Structure 1
Amino acid sequence: MYYAPRTIAFLCELLHPPVAPDPGPVQRVHNQLFESGDPPYQSFHVTPEGSVLSNPSTRPGAVSSASFLKDRFQFREELTGETTEGFGERVQKLATQVCSEKGIQIFTAQVVTVRTLINPKNWRDSRGFLKEGVFKFDGELQCLGREPQLFGLRLVFPPTQDSPNAFTLRIESFASDPRSLFIENQASFGPQVVARGLEETSANVQRNYTFIVERVLPFLGNFDARQEA
């Protein structure tokens, strides 16, 4: 069954051995990007935790930022319309440049989170889809004394020999829009040596999204059957 996912957030953390906070390297990269004529971020500022690059937004809840803290790089694109490819390229390019300036030689781990929404084909309310279509609940909830207003499940996929990364998957009804189903997949990946290139940082973003599209959506489609009148 075909769904049209609407991705609402990309997040990526690149963890590295702690280094002393120093805004200079990030500011130099920011200046270089501006000189190139196509900077991915408009603003640079310093916080007690580290340096932050960001873009202004008039949309409520929207975030576009890259933070460089003492032990990690954090990239966030929430409600900005960014694509999977664009986010992956942004992470790879900026991480490479900042590592060169800061002298970081290894990332000990990468964590990528993708959040997206879909609409079930045969259910008007995602709560009903999960309650009746997925969980097959009938009268079992009566013993709880009240009707839940949010349904969901959490699945954890630990690393295996064939798939060395871990996935933590959340599927929930979406409070802001009962018609939509919320999907979040958090993927954890192993170390990356900077000198060997950071292509995997971008590829790992795509791996997370591909798991949602090629695995999670078909899984949900198994339960999205036409309801009897």
Structure 2
Amino acid sequence: MNGPTAHCTMDYQPRTIAFLSEFIHPPQAPDARAIQKLHNRMFESGHPPYSSFAVTPAGPLLTNPSAQKGAVSQVAFLEDRVQFREELGDATQDSFAQRVTEVLKGALPLRNIETITGQQITLRSLINPQAFQDSREFLHEGMFRFGDAMRVYERSPQLFGMRLVFPPEGEQRNAYSLRIESYNADARSLYVEIQGSFGPTTVATELDDVTSNVHETYEFMLGRVLPFIASFDARQPS
């Protein structure tokens, strides 16, 4: 059999290790006073999404310090964008979408920003192929089916991977970039990164679209990427 197994489905349990997002806006000098005011308001609400406020050379920063190695929970207010990072924590698509929307609704009016000119939502997840114990073996034999072709290099690659880019087309006005790779930190796991790119948003009336964009990017993984991977997740007859 030379092609993928048609209509194959697998009960994958993706483990999302990072939620990242960038919201680009017209450049303006970072305003630490506005973000400190936002931070104070959030504390007064009783449920602040971030516990710490700091000013860096690049701009103000809200964070949740963590003792877990490698964990990051922060939002940075830079000259031309707002960057959110939730890595190796307990964030879910729902909590991340809610946090991002809440912070943007509070911060952008305080900074007199009326338009988000572009948005990027990035998800990084791990899944375990079911027919292969090693993700490199899955990519080599299941997805790419290189056979003996790799022998020409006279060495084994440390990492296998692929990248796909889906531009806007027809009524689908957003774009997606997809990476599928083996994962050096855990040979059993397959690394999947999806970046959704979305167009302008009016701050006064359309910020709820941000929530939809996070969910749409996550749904792209569940409804498109995982079935694509599953179609190769089977041993081929010898």
Q: Which position in structure 2 is the counterpart of 1:33? A: 42
Superposed, 1:169-208 pairs within 5 Å as 169-208=178-217
Q: CA offset at residue 226 of structure 1?
A: 4.1
**Partner residue in 1 for 2:171:** 162
CA displacement, residues 113-161 of structure 1 (integer Å, 9 cap, x when unaligned): 0000000011100000000000111110011121111100000001112
Q: Answer whether contact 2:97 2:215 (CA < 8 A) is retained.
A: yes
**2: CA distance, partners of 1:198 / 1:192:** 7
Deviation of 1:197 (Å) = 3.1
Identity %: 52
CA distance in 2, matches of 1:55, 1:103: 26
Measured in 2, the distance between the counterparts of 1:176 and 1:112 equals 24
Once residues 135 and 237 of structure 2 are traced to their aligned partners in structure 1, the CA distance between those partners, rounded to angstroms, is 17
2:133 matches 1:108: no
Alignment size in residue pairs: 229
Contact 1:112 1:187 in 2 (8 A): yes
Number of the residue aligned with 2:6: none
Query: 1:69 aligns to what?
Result: 78
Give the root-mean-square deviation of aligned CA atoms.
1.1
Contact 2:142 2:235 in 1 (8 A): no
Q: Matched residues in 2 for 1:226 and 1:153: separation?
A: 20
Q: Is the 8 A contact 1:46 1:52 kept in 2?
A: yes
Q: Structure 2 length normalisation: TM-score?
A: 0.94
Would you say 1:125 and 2:134 are equivalent positions?
A: yes
Aligned residue identity for 2:41: Q
Match of 1:217 among 226, 229, 232: 226
Gaps of 5+ in 2: 1-9
Give the secondary-structure state (helix, strand or coil) at the position aligned to 1:138: coil
For residue 86 of structure 1, what is the aligned residue in structure 2? 95
**Which segments of 5 or more consecutive residues in structure 1 lack a partner in the other structure?**
none
Superposed CA offset, 1:154-203 (max 9, x none): 00001112211111100000000000000000111000011113011111
For 2:48 and 2:235, the matched residues in 1 are separated by: 48
1:151 is aligned to 160
**Partner secondary structure for residue 172 of structure 1:** strand
TM-score w.r.t. the length of structure 1 is 0.98
Tell me the distance in 2 between the aligned counterparts of 1:218 and 1:197: 32
In structure 1, C-alpha distance between the alignment counterparts of 2:102 and 2:48, rounded to whole Å: 12
Q: Does residue 10 of structure 1 match 2:22?
A: no
Displacement over 3 Å in runs of 4+ = 226-229
Q: Does the CA-based 8 Å contact 1:110-1:191 persist in structure 2?
A: yes
CA–CA distance in 1 between the matches of 2:38 and 2:30?
Answer: 15
Deviation (angstroms), 1:228: 5.7
State the distance in 1 between where 2:156 and 2:29 align: 51
